[in-house]
Structure 1
Amino acid sequence: MTETNGAAEAPQAPKMNILAQFIRDMSFENILAQKGVSGEVQPDVQVQVNLDAKKRTAENQYEVVMKLKVDSKSKTGSDQLFLLELDYAGVFHIENVPEEQLHPFLLIECPRMLFPFVRRIVSDVSRDGGFPPLNLETIDFLALYRNELARRAAQQEAVGQA
Protein backbone atom coordinates (compact mmCIF):
# COMPACT_ATOMS: atom_id res chain seq x y z
CA MET A 1 0.00 0.00 0.00
CA THR A 2 1.41 3.39 -0.96
CA GLU A 3 0.92 6.55 0.99
CA THR A 4 0.14 9.88 -0.62
CA ASN A 5 -0.07 13.07 1.35
CA GLY A 6 -1.96 14.95 -1.35
CA ALA A 7 1.07 16.99 -2.40
CA ALA A 8 1.76 17.22 -6.10
CA GLU A 9 4.90 15.54 -7.33
CA ALA A 10 7.76 18.05 -7.38
CA PRO A 11 8.89 19.00 -10.89
CA GLN A 12 12.18 17.44 -11.86
CA ALA A 13 15.16 19.63 -12.63
CA PRO A 14 16.17 19.93 -16.30
CA LYS A 15 18.86 17.48 -17.40
CA MET A 16 21.25 18.13 -20.25
CA ASN A 17 24.05 15.92 -21.53
CA ILE A 18 26.35 16.64 -24.44
CA LEU A 19 26.46 13.42 -26.44
CA ALA A 20 28.78 14.67 -29.19
CA GLN A 21 30.29 17.84 -30.58
CA PHE A 22 32.02 18.35 -33.88
CA ILE A 23 33.09 20.75 -36.59
CA ARG A 24 30.48 20.47 -39.31
CA ASP A 25 32.22 22.91 -41.66
CA MET A 26 35.21 25.23 -41.41
CA SER A 27 36.99 27.56 -43.79
CA PHE A 28 39.98 29.80 -43.12
CA GLU A 29 41.20 32.14 -45.83
CA ASN A 30 44.48 33.93 -45.16
CA ILE A 31 44.00 36.77 -47.62
CA LEU A 32 47.01 38.68 -46.33
CA ALA A 33 49.36 35.80 -47.21
CA GLN A 34 47.67 35.27 -50.59
CA LYS A 35 48.41 38.91 -51.49
CA GLY A 36 52.01 38.54 -50.32
CA VAL A 37 51.72 41.43 -47.88
CA SER A 38 53.89 41.40 -44.80
CA GLY A 39 54.64 43.70 -41.91
CA GLU A 40 52.70 44.93 -38.91
CA VAL A 41 48.95 45.27 -39.34
CA GLN A 42 46.26 46.54 -36.99
CA PRO A 43 43.25 44.20 -37.34
CA ASP A 44 39.62 45.22 -37.04
CA VAL A 45 37.65 42.07 -36.29
CA GLN A 46 33.91 41.61 -36.94
CA VAL A 47 32.17 38.53 -35.56
CA GLN A 48 28.74 37.30 -36.65
CA VAL A 49 26.96 34.49 -34.83
CA ASN A 50 23.93 32.51 -35.98
CA LEU A 51 22.33 29.64 -34.14
CA ASP A 52 20.21 26.77 -35.34
CA ALA A 53 18.57 23.91 -33.46
CA LYS A 54 16.62 20.90 -34.59
CA LYS A 55 15.10 17.76 -33.13
CA ARG A 56 16.85 14.50 -33.97
CA THR A 57 15.07 11.21 -34.57
CA ALA A 58 16.15 9.75 -31.22
CA GLU A 59 13.93 10.66 -28.27
CA ASN A 60 15.02 13.78 -26.31
CA GLN A 61 17.95 14.43 -28.67
CA TYR A 62 18.61 17.77 -30.33
CA GLU A 63 21.33 19.15 -32.56
CA VAL A 64 22.44 22.73 -32.02
CA VAL A 65 24.71 24.44 -34.56
CA MET A 66 26.68 27.62 -33.89
CA LYS A 67 27.61 29.35 -37.14
CA LEU A 68 30.43 31.81 -36.69
CA LYS A 69 31.86 34.22 -39.26
CA VAL A 70 34.99 36.12 -38.28
CA ASP A 71 36.03 38.83 -40.73
CA SER A 72 39.32 40.61 -40.03
CA LYS A 73 40.26 43.75 -41.91
CA SER A 74 43.11 46.20 -41.53
CA LYS A 75 42.18 49.31 -39.54
CA THR A 76 44.41 51.48 -41.70
CA GLY A 77 43.66 50.40 -45.24
CA SER A 78 40.53 48.30 -44.67
CA ASP A 79 42.19 45.47 -46.64
CA GLN A 80 40.88 42.08 -45.65
CA LEU A 81 43.38 40.07 -43.58
CA PHE A 82 41.54 36.79 -43.05
CA LEU A 83 38.11 35.24 -43.11
CA LEU A 84 37.14 32.37 -40.81
CA GLU A 85 33.82 30.56 -41.11
CA LEU A 86 33.00 27.84 -38.61
CA ASP A 87 29.90 25.68 -38.15
CA TYR A 88 30.24 23.88 -34.82
CA ALA A 89 27.56 21.42 -33.75
CA GLY A 90 26.61 19.70 -30.55
CA VAL A 91 24.24 16.80 -30.01
CA PHE A 92 22.37 17.13 -26.73
CA HIS A 93 20.16 14.83 -24.70
CA ILE A 94 17.65 17.03 -22.87
CA GLU A 95 15.00 15.96 -20.37
CA ASN A 96 12.53 17.70 -18.04
CA VAL A 97 12.35 20.97 -19.97
CA PRO A 98 8.77 22.13 -20.57
CA GLU A 99 7.85 22.44 -24.26
CA GLU A 100 7.36 26.22 -24.03
CA GLN A 101 10.88 26.62 -22.60
CA LEU A 102 12.63 24.23 -24.99
CA HIS A 103 13.31 26.74 -27.80
CA PRO A 104 15.11 29.28 -25.56
CA PHE A 105 16.89 26.44 -23.75
CA LEU A 106 18.26 25.09 -27.04
CA LEU A 107 19.38 28.52 -28.28
CA ILE A 108 20.76 29.90 -25.01
CA GLU A 109 21.97 27.12 -22.71
CA CYS A 110 23.28 24.71 -25.36
CA PRO A 111 25.42 27.33 -27.15
CA ARG A 112 26.83 28.37 -23.75
CA MET A 113 28.12 24.82 -23.35
CA LEU A 114 29.65 24.81 -26.85
CA PHE A 115 31.23 28.27 -26.72
CA PRO A 116 34.49 27.43 -24.86
CA PHE A 117 35.31 24.86 -27.55
CA VAL A 118 34.47 27.30 -30.36
CA ARG A 119 36.64 29.97 -28.70
CA ARG A 120 39.60 27.57 -28.58
CA ILE A 121 39.19 26.54 -32.22
CA VAL A 122 39.07 30.18 -33.38
CA SER A 123 42.15 30.99 -31.30
CA ASP A 124 44.12 28.00 -32.63
CA VAL A 125 43.13 28.51 -36.27
CA SER A 126 43.94 32.23 -36.27
CA ARG A 127 47.30 31.54 -34.58
CA ASP A 128 48.13 28.68 -36.94
CA GLY A 129 47.19 30.97 -39.84
CA GLY A 130 50.01 33.35 -38.91
CA PHE A 131 48.07 35.91 -36.85
CA PRO A 132 47.96 36.59 -33.13
CA PRO A 133 45.52 34.15 -31.48
CA LEU A 134 42.03 35.63 -31.60
CA ASN A 135 40.40 35.20 -28.19
CA LEU A 136 36.67 35.78 -28.70
CA GLU A 137 34.83 37.83 -26.12
CA THR A 138 32.15 35.93 -24.22
CA ILE A 139 28.89 35.95 -26.17
CA ASP A 140 25.67 36.86 -24.35
CA PHE A 141 23.38 34.20 -25.83
CA LEU A 142 20.37 35.50 -23.89
CA ALA A 143 20.74 38.96 -25.50
CA LEU A 144 21.33 37.30 -28.88
CA TYR A 145 18.11 35.31 -28.45
CA ARG A 146 16.09 38.38 -27.40
CA ASN A 147 17.45 40.42 -30.33
CA GLU A 148 16.45 37.67 -32.77
CA LEU A 149 12.93 37.52 -31.30
CA ALA A 150 12.63 41.32 -31.61
CA ARG A 151 13.95 41.23 -35.19
CA ARG A 152 11.44 38.54 -36.17
CA ALA A 153 8.56 40.41 -34.50
CA ALA A 154 9.50 43.62 -36.36
CA GLN A 155 9.78 41.69 -39.62
CA GLN A 156 6.32 40.14 -39.17
CA GLU A 157 4.87 43.53 -38.28
CA ALA A 158 6.36 45.03 -41.44
CA VAL A 159 4.93 42.16 -43.53
CA GLY A 160 1.53 42.63 -41.87
CA GLN A 161 1.50 46.33 -42.80
CA ALA A 162 2.53 45.75 -46.42
Structure 2
Amino acid sequence: MTEEAKQDAPNREFAVQRIYTKDISFETPNSPAVFQQEWKPETGVNLNTEVNKLNDDVFEVTLTVTVTTKLGEQTAYLAEVKQAGIFTAKGFPEQEMGPLLGAFCPNQLFPYVREVVSDLITKGSFPQMVLQPVNFDMIYAQHQQERAKRAETEAEGQSQH
Protein backbone atom coordinates (compact mmCIF):
# COMPACT_ATOMS: atom_id res chain seq x y z
CA MET A 1 0.00 0.00 0.00
CA THR A 2 1.36 3.42 -0.93
CA GLU A 3 1.74 6.19 1.67
CA GLU A 4 -1.06 8.10 -0.08
CA ALA A 5 -3.47 5.17 0.18
CA LYS A 6 -2.58 4.69 3.86
CA GLN A 7 -3.43 8.31 4.59
CA ASP A 8 -6.77 8.05 2.75
CA ALA A 9 -7.78 4.87 4.61
CA PRO A 10 -9.64 5.62 7.84
CA ASN A 11 -8.07 4.69 11.15
CA ARG A 12 -9.95 1.50 11.89
CA GLU A 13 -9.80 -0.30 15.17
CA PHE A 14 -11.61 -3.47 16.17
CA ALA A 15 -10.97 -5.16 19.49
CA VAL A 16 -12.61 -7.71 21.74
CA GLN A 17 -12.59 -6.23 25.23
CA ARG A 18 -14.39 -9.05 27.01
CA ILE A 19 -16.49 -12.16 26.36
CA TYR A 20 -18.77 -13.39 29.12
CA THR A 21 -21.82 -15.49 29.90
CA LYS A 22 -24.59 -13.03 30.72
CA ASP A 23 -27.42 -15.42 31.59
CA ILE A 24 -27.95 -19.18 31.84
CA SER A 25 -31.15 -21.14 32.27
CA PHE A 26 -31.57 -24.91 32.26
CA GLU A 27 -34.85 -26.67 33.01
CA THR A 28 -35.93 -30.31 33.01
CA PRO A 29 -39.61 -29.83 33.84
CA ASN A 30 -40.58 -33.47 33.33
CA SER A 31 -37.71 -35.19 35.11
CA PRO A 32 -37.30 -37.85 36.26
CA ALA A 33 -40.08 -39.22 33.99
CA VAL A 34 -38.19 -38.27 30.79
CA PHE A 35 -35.28 -40.48 31.88
CA GLN A 36 -37.62 -43.49 31.91
CA GLN A 37 -38.71 -43.05 28.28
CA GLU A 38 -37.11 -44.18 25.04
CA TRP A 39 -34.80 -41.40 23.88
CA LYS A 40 -36.17 -40.24 20.51
CA PRO A 41 -36.00 -36.47 20.90
CA GLU A 42 -37.08 -33.61 18.69
CA THR A 43 -34.84 -30.61 19.16
CA GLY A 44 -35.38 -27.00 18.15
CA VAL A 45 -32.70 -24.31 18.25
CA ASN A 46 -33.49 -20.60 18.25
CA LEU A 47 -30.87 -17.86 17.81
CA ASN A 48 -31.17 -14.15 18.51
CA THR A 49 -28.70 -11.28 18.63
CA GLU A 50 -28.93 -7.92 20.32
CA VAL A 51 -26.62 -4.92 20.08
CA ASN A 52 -26.36 -2.22 22.74
CA LYS A 53 -24.21 0.86 22.21
CA LEU A 54 -22.26 1.51 25.41
CA ASN A 55 -20.51 4.67 24.15
CA ASP A 56 -19.31 6.12 20.85
CA ASP A 57 -17.05 3.23 19.85
CA VAL A 58 -17.94 0.47 22.33
CA PHE A 59 -20.77 -2.03 21.86
CA GLU A 60 -22.17 -4.98 23.78
CA VAL A 61 -23.34 -7.76 21.48
CA THR A 62 -25.42 -10.55 23.02
CA LEU A 63 -26.05 -13.87 21.29
CA THR A 64 -28.96 -15.81 22.78
CA VAL A 65 -29.32 -19.51 22.02
CA THR A 66 -32.39 -21.43 23.16
CA VAL A 67 -32.45 -25.21 22.77
CA THR A 68 -35.75 -27.01 23.40
CA THR A 69 -35.82 -30.80 23.30
CA LYS A 70 -39.06 -32.74 23.52
CA LEU A 71 -40.06 -36.37 23.77
CA GLY A 72 -43.46 -36.37 22.15
CA GLU A 73 -45.43 -33.61 23.90
CA GLN A 74 -43.19 -33.53 26.99
CA THR A 75 -40.29 -31.14 27.29
CA ALA A 76 -37.16 -33.10 28.17
CA TYR A 77 -35.08 -29.96 28.65
CA LEU A 78 -34.91 -26.30 27.85
CA ALA A 79 -31.51 -24.62 27.80
CA GLU A 80 -31.04 -20.91 27.20
CA VAL A 81 -27.68 -19.16 27.18
CA LYS A 82 -26.95 -15.48 26.63
CA GLN A 83 -23.31 -15.09 25.65
CA ALA A 84 -22.15 -11.50 25.37
CA GLY A 85 -19.10 -9.58 24.35
CA ILE A 86 -17.89 -6.02 24.61
CA PHE A 87 -16.32 -4.86 21.36
CA THR A 88 -14.53 -1.69 20.30
CA ALA A 89 -15.29 -0.66 16.72
CA LYS A 90 -13.73 2.63 15.63
CA GLY A 91 -13.39 4.23 12.23
CA PHE A 92 -15.76 1.95 10.31
CA PRO A 93 -18.19 3.50 7.81
CA GLU A 94 -21.88 3.24 8.72
CA GLN A 95 -22.57 0.60 6.02
CA GLU A 96 -19.92 -1.70 7.57
CA MET A 97 -21.06 -1.35 11.18
CA GLY A 98 -24.26 -3.39 10.66
CA PRO A 99 -22.50 -6.50 9.32
CA LEU A 100 -19.67 -6.08 11.83
CA LEU A 101 -22.00 -6.01 14.85
CA GLY A 102 -24.77 -8.19 13.40
CA ALA A 103 -22.68 -10.99 11.88
CA PHE A 104 -18.97 -10.80 12.69
CA CYS A 105 -19.37 -10.29 16.46
CA PRO A 106 -21.97 -13.09 16.91
CA ASN A 107 -19.56 -15.31 14.97
CA GLN A 108 -16.90 -14.54 17.59
CA LEU A 109 -19.34 -15.42 20.41
CA PHE A 110 -20.65 -18.66 18.91
CA PRO A 111 -17.83 -21.04 19.97
CA TYR A 112 -18.28 -19.88 23.57
CA VAL A 113 -22.05 -20.31 23.58
CA ARG A 114 -21.70 -23.71 21.88
CA GLU A 115 -19.46 -24.91 24.72
CA VAL A 116 -21.76 -23.59 27.47
CA VAL A 117 -24.85 -25.19 25.90
CA SER A 118 -23.07 -28.53 25.46
CA ASP A 119 -21.84 -28.50 29.08
CA LEU A 120 -25.29 -27.59 30.47
CA ILE A 121 -27.05 -30.39 28.62
CA THR A 122 -24.41 -32.98 29.50
CA LYS A 123 -24.51 -31.96 33.18
CA GLY A 124 -28.28 -32.35 33.01
CA SER A 125 -27.61 -36.05 32.30
CA PHE A 126 -28.68 -35.89 28.67
CA PRO A 127 -26.73 -37.02 25.59
CA GLN A 128 -24.23 -34.46 24.33
CA MET A 129 -25.67 -31.69 22.18
CA VAL A 130 -23.30 -30.04 19.73
CA LEU A 131 -24.68 -26.97 18.00
CA GLN A 132 -24.06 -27.03 14.26
CA PRO A 133 -22.12 -24.19 12.62
CA VAL A 134 -24.15 -21.08 11.86
CA ASN A 135 -23.72 -18.72 8.90
CA PHE A 136 -24.30 -15.39 10.63
CA ASP A 137 -23.52 -13.47 7.42
CA MET A 138 -26.46 -15.18 5.69
CA ILE A 139 -28.77 -14.67 8.69
CA TYR A 140 -27.85 -10.98 8.81
CA ALA A 141 -28.46 -10.59 5.07
CA GLN A 142 -31.87 -12.31 5.34
CA HIS A 143 -32.79 -10.09 8.28
CA GLN A 144 -31.87 -6.98 6.28
CA GLN A 145 -33.98 -8.18 3.31
CA GLU A 146 -36.97 -8.81 5.61
CA ARG A 147 -36.60 -5.32 7.13
CA ALA A 148 -36.47 -3.77 3.66
CA LYS A 149 -39.63 -5.66 2.58
CA ARG A 150 -41.47 -4.60 5.76
CA ALA A 151 -40.46 -0.98 5.23
CA GLU A 152 -41.61 -1.18 1.60
CA THR A 153 -44.96 -2.71 2.61
CA GLU A 154 -45.48 -0.08 5.31
CA ALA A 155 -44.62 2.71 2.86
CA GLU A 156 -47.13 1.32 0.33
CA GLY A 157 -49.78 1.08 3.03
CA GLN A 158 -49.25 4.70 4.09
CA SER A 159 -49.30 6.03 0.51
CA GLN A 160 -52.72 4.44 -0.06
CA HIS A 161 -54.33 6.48 2.73
The normalised TM-score by structure 2 is 0.84
Q: Does 2:58 match 1:61?
A: yes
Aligned residue number for residue 122 of structure 2: 127
Report percent identity of matched pairs: 28
Amino acid at match of 1:79: Q
Cα contact 1:22–1:89 (8 A) shared by 2: yes
Contact 2:58–2:89 under 8 Å retained in 1: yes
In the TM superposition, what are the counterparts of 1:67-82 in structure 2 within 5 Å?
Answer: 67-74=64-71, 77-82=72-77
Query: Any residues of structure 2 matched to 1:151-162 within 5 Å, and which?
Result: 151-162=146-157
Per-residue Cα deviation, 1:70-110 (whole angstroms, up to 9, x for no partner): 11112xx2422111112111001123322221111101111
Q: What count of residue pairs does the alignment treat as equivalent?
A: 155
**Secondary structure class of the residue paired with 1:21:** strand
Which of structure 1's runs of 4+ aligned residues deviate more than 6 A? none
Please state whether the residue corresponding to 2:38 is helix, strand or coil: coil
SS in 1 for 2:26: strand
- Where in structure 1 are there 5+ consecutive unaligned residues? none
Which one-letter code corresponds to 1:70 in the other structure? Answer: V
Q: Contact (CA 8 Å) 1:25, 1:87: kept in 2 or not?
A: yes
TM-score, normalised to structure 1, is: 0.84
- 2:33 aligned with 1:38: no
Distance 1:34 1:153, change over 3 A: farther
Q: 1:47 aligns with which of 26, 45, 48?
A: 45
Q: Which has the higher helix share?
A: 2
Q: CA deviation at 1:34?
A: 5.2
Q: Residue 146 of structure 1 is aligned with which of 130, 141, 144?
A: 141
Residue 4 of structure 2 aligns to a residue in which SS?
Answer: coil
Residue identity in the other structure for 1:146: A
Gaps of 5+ in 2: none
